[in-house]
């Protein structure tokens, strides 16, 4: 296979033989050295690289250990401080790195018609049917043989057409392309490049108006509001915060998911100081990304020991055993009567074709085609139609969490305050509560934001905030710049219902009106920490407050025992 045009000026005479799976390849650049990530952002310089691709993943040969290892991006054995220290790549370094990592694209290969035909025809049922057709034709069962052949051919053709159509649909759905702005080490200004040219180590500039991510990147500066419904199915926007800068913390894609912009997700808005850019560093590209892993799981599903398959083959084996008894009986009795061997062979083999239903594979193919058509009307594409038969034997389906089988809506029941280490009478009218620590915590400790003039966020946070009657406001400027300010979110009580603060609050906050609280910094909920927190400041106050909420055991571990 020839090298892509954009890379011809990088490779020398010894270009790669093939980018297809299982192809062992030697890559040697015409000038410069290739770089392969080892650990902690350190790239090993090599004169040539030997690699092969398996199920769209690249494996590199290690000369020192004499073994292949999976090509890693900047997501393995890298400290968070190392990611913050990256300053982008030079144009030459980016080209050399792209030789190893390939283009940043997720392309679903479409199998040829001949390949699909062989995969369908080589089914054991169809092999047996071909044998039966030849036998019937030799025994002058021409009309019956032609009818079965026509039905089978129709089923095979329709199955191939449907499978190929679904493959094209999946390919068009998955593939996407755009233009990205990256920081170049050798240039004073950002450079615009196609997203296919992105490699691990590139510094992305996230547009203020948002974008669709075409790679996995770690947020270095600023905040992003992201819609991750493509990956998680949750339509609630998620706030992404910058990655902590610590040499002792290794980056982990699961632990630091709140700082990672995943491929395929949509950045709705960005937030940062003044005119500064929101920056993110590319850590994974192509099929190594979260979206790429999802596509690979569709293309190469894990082998499953389907009981249906085993039962169908046992059924055929049982029929074959019955047919063998009749075969032996027919051969013996016909031979004793002195009938010719050719007639004996035809009649004995014909007995086998009668015992095993000849129209069974055609009927199953037509059934699968009909099932595929019904699935397509629901927007479901199946590129492995043979597995449809298995769905008929499913007797248990398990779902997770609220919102899948139940309603998304929540209702606020009340608040149970605590005074002198004792629970008090529950307060049902939240908007009538005094302005104390509980109220201030409820109106600030959340991850709500305004998108398209609508308050959005976690349903629990949304219901809790709305029950207080307070208002959440963001600066009255256009959507492209309102999140660039240092205090993007302000909460205040309704103008018709302003009351003085609780007496205890007067010890903490200034009495300067009006009553407004700015949310200075948000630390979104972390499943590993089981909590979230915010830093807030009341207008005119000389100090900050930190509010935290989470699971009971986590809050208990952070609380003073004497309280």
Cα angle 437, 442, 448 (rounded to 5 degrees) comes to 145
Bridge partner list, 182: 191, 204
Provide CB contacts within 8 A for 553, sequence distance 6+.
530
CB atoms within 10 A of CB 211: 21
Structural contact between residues 391 and 372, judged by C-beta atoms closer than 8 angstroms? no
Task: Give yes or no: 103 in active site.
Answer: no
Cα-atom radius of gyration of the chain, to the nearest Å?
Answer: 33
Complete edge-to-edge strand list for the sheet that includes strand 545-550: 471-473, 490-492, 517-526, 531-538, 545-550
Taking alpha carbons only, the member of 70, 77, 36 closest to residue 53 is 70
DSSP assignment string, 311-377? HHHHHHHHHHHHHHHHHHHHHHHHHHTT--HHHHHHHHHHHHHHHS-TTHHHHHHHHHHHHHHHHHH
The single residue of 248, 400, 453, 562 carrying the catalytic annotation is 400
Distance, in Å, from the CA atom of 335 to the CA atom of 339, rounded to the nearest integer, reads: 6
Provide CB contacts within 8 A for 48, sequence distance 6+.
14, 26, 27, 28, 29, 34
Bridge partner list, 44: 36
Tokens of 385: 């139609």
Tokens of 333: 């009795």
CB atoms within 10 A of CB 404: 10
> Which residues are tagged catalytic?
400
């Amino acid at each position: 296979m020839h090298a892509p045009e954009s890379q011809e000026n990088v490779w020398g005479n010894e270009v790669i033989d093939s980018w297809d799976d299982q192809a062992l390849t030697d890559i040697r650049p015409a000038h410069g050295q290739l770089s392969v990530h080892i650990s902690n952002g350190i790239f090993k310089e090599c004169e040539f690289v030997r690699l092969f691709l398996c199920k769209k993943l690249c494996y590199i040969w290690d000369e020192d250990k004499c073994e292949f290892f999976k090509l890693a991006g900047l997501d393995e054995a890298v400290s968070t401080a190392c990611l913050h220290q990256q300053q982008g790549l030079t144009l030459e370094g980016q080209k050399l790195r792209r030789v190893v990592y390939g283009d940043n694209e997720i392309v679903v290969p479409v199998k040829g018609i001949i390949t699909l035909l062989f995969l369908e025809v080589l089914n054991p049922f169809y092999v047996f049917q071909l044998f039966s057709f030849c036998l019937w034709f030799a025994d002058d069962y021409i009309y019956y043989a032609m009818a079965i052949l026509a039905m089978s051919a129709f089923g095979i053709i329709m199955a191939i057409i449907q499978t190929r159509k679904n493959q094209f649909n999946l390919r068009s759905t998955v593939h996407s392309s755009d233009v990205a702005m990256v920081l170049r080490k050798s240039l004073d200004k950002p450079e615009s490049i196609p997203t296919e040219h992105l490699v691990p180590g590139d510094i992305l500039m996230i547009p203020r108006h948002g974008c669709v991510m075409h790679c996995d990147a770690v947020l270095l500066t600023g905040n992003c509001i992201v819609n991750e419904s493509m990956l998680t199915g949750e339509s609630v926007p998620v706030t992404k915060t910058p990655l902590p800068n610590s040499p002792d913390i290794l980056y982990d894609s699961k632990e630091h998911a709140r700082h990672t912009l995943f491929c395929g997700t949509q950045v709705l808005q960005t937030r940062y100081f003044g005119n500064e850019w929101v920056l993110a560093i590319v850590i994974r590209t192509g099929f190594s990304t979260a979206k790429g892993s999802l596509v690979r799981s569709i293309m190469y599903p894990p082998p499953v020991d389907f009981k249906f398959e085993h039962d169908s083959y046992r059924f055929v084996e049982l029929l074959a055993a019955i047919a063998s008894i009749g075969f032996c009986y027919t051969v013996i009795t016909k031979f004793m009567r002195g009938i010719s061997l050719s007639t004996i062979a035809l009649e004995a083999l014909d007995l086998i074709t009668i015992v095993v239903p000849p129209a069974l594979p055609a009927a199953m193919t037509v059934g699968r085609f009909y099932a595929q058509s019904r699935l397509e009307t629901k927007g479901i594409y199946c590129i492995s139609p043979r597995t449809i038969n298995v769905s008929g034997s499913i007797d248990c389906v398990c779902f997770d969490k609220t919102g899948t089988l139940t309603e998304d809506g929540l209702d606020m029941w009340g608040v149970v305050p605590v005074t002198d280490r004792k629970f008090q009478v529950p307060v049902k009218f939240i908007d009538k509560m005094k302005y104390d620590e509980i109220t201030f915590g409820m109106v600030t400790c959340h991850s709500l934001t305004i998108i398209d003039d609508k308050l959005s966020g976690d349903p629990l946070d949304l219901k809790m905030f709305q029950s207080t009657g307070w208002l959440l406001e963001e600066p009255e400027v256009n959507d492209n710049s309102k999140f660039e300010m240092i205090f993007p979110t302000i909460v205040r009580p309704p103008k018709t219902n302003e009351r003085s603060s609780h007496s205890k609050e007067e010890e903490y906050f200034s009495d300067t009106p009006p009553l407004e609280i700015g949310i200075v910094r948000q630390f979104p909920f972390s499943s590993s920490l089981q909590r979230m927190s915010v830093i807030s400041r009341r207008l005119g106050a000389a100090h900050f407050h930190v509010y935290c909420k989470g699971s009971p055991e986590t809050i208990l571990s952070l609380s003073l025992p004497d309280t």
